[in-house]
């Protein structure tokens, strides 16, 4: 079994930034309009008024003060409430591949590697803009990488599982160097009209180069000593959009469940003990005490988790 190291990382961040003040103004304008349209039903008690948001609420609930998006104009327009992205032809680089290539080039440069050095590409993301061809293969072609590539989706844990998959392939000897990209345009499947989640996500792409530890030339590499994954099904985070939508009556309706939705408090109660148990058991099996850790990077939707 080969030892594995992360030898380079890359980051793409969009230029558009949405502050909490901008987000609140947009959402509250939409909520006020919807409440006016449904005033009679609200007065009759047959409909609930949309709650208003505030900067204080967002910071208290999440600690988030701003987020980056591919297009803020559409997101902040109360008549639109979604990003407006230009449709590209089949002959153009897709938008997910474009930001993945940008992050990948930075990661490759930091690893001191060229396209000819890489054996495979993994594109791991919570959503993909199309079913096929794979975004990973498009990135592979754009960078001039030979070998193989594939997409994978494990929701918001996609990057973690992408690293796990790459590390396992390198450990086993089926690849020496793998590029893992994580292009997330969550603004496209986020629900900006829901007060309980409209502030959580933004857009970004990260990239990681993993390779056999004995081949690393980068002066800022990190060896992966051990990995562990766990999954558990839950309906508390869900997005029902998919290719079978067109087979159902009323498939073009703008239904709430066709974008990201969650039961935040239930997610918190599920995730925190589950992750804590996983981390403690992992550390114990490796003979590492929590006090021995200098730093932890945790994926979470708010600072309280």
SS3 category, 6: strand
- Cα three-residue angle 189-13-89, rounded to 5 degrees: 60
C-alpha 223 chain-centroid distance: 24
Nearest to 128 by CA among 116, 136, 118: 136
Nearby residues of 77 by Cβ (< 8 Å), 6 or more positions away: 26
32, 60, 150, 270 from 136: Cα distances, Å = 43, 38, 5, 32
- The CA–CA distances, whole Å, from 186 to 77, 99, 222, 293 equal 17, 13, 28, 31
Gyration radius of the chain over CA positions = 21
Active site residue 229: no
Query: Among residues 156, 197, 205, 229, which one is catalytic?
Result: 156
Question: Active-site residues: which are they?
Answer: 156
């Amino acid at each position: 079994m080969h030892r594995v190291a992360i030898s380079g990382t890359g980051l793409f961040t969009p230029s558009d930034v949405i502050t909490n003040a901008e987000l609140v103004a947009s959402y509250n304008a939409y909520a006020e309009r919807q409440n006016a349209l449904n005033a009679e039903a609200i007065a009759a008690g047959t409909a609930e008024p949309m709650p208003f948001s505030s900067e204080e609420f967002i910071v208290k609930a999440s600690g988030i003060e701003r987020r980056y998006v591919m297009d803020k104009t559409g997101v902040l327009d109360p008549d639109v409430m979604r990003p407006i992205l230009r449709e590209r032809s089949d002959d153009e680089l897709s938008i997910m591949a474009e930001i993945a290539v940008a992050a990948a080039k930075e990661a490759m440069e930091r690893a001191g590697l060229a396209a000819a050095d890489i054996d495979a590409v993994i594109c791991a993301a919570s959503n993909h803009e199309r079913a096929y061809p794979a975004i990973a293969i498009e990135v592979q072609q754009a960078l001039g990488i030979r070998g193989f590539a594939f997409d994978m989706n494990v929701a918001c844990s996609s990057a973690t599982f992408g690293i796990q998959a790459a590390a396992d392939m390198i450990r086993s000897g089926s690849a020496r160097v793998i590029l893992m990209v994580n292009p997330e345009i969550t603004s496209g499947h986020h629900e900006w009209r829901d007060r309980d989640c409209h502030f959580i996500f933004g857009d970004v792409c990260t990239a990681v180069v993993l390779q056999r530890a004995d081949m690393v030339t980068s002066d800022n590499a990190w060896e992966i000593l051990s990995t562990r994954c766990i999954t558990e099904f839950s309906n508390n985070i869900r997005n029902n959009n998919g290719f079978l939508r067109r087979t159902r009556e009323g498939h073009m309706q703008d239904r709430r469940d066709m974008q990201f939705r969650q039961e935040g408090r239930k997610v918190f109660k599920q995730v925190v003990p589950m992750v804590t148990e996983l981390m403690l058991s992992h550390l114990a099996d490796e003979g590492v005490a929590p006090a021995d850790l200098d730093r932890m990077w945790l994926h979470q939707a708010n600072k309280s988790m």
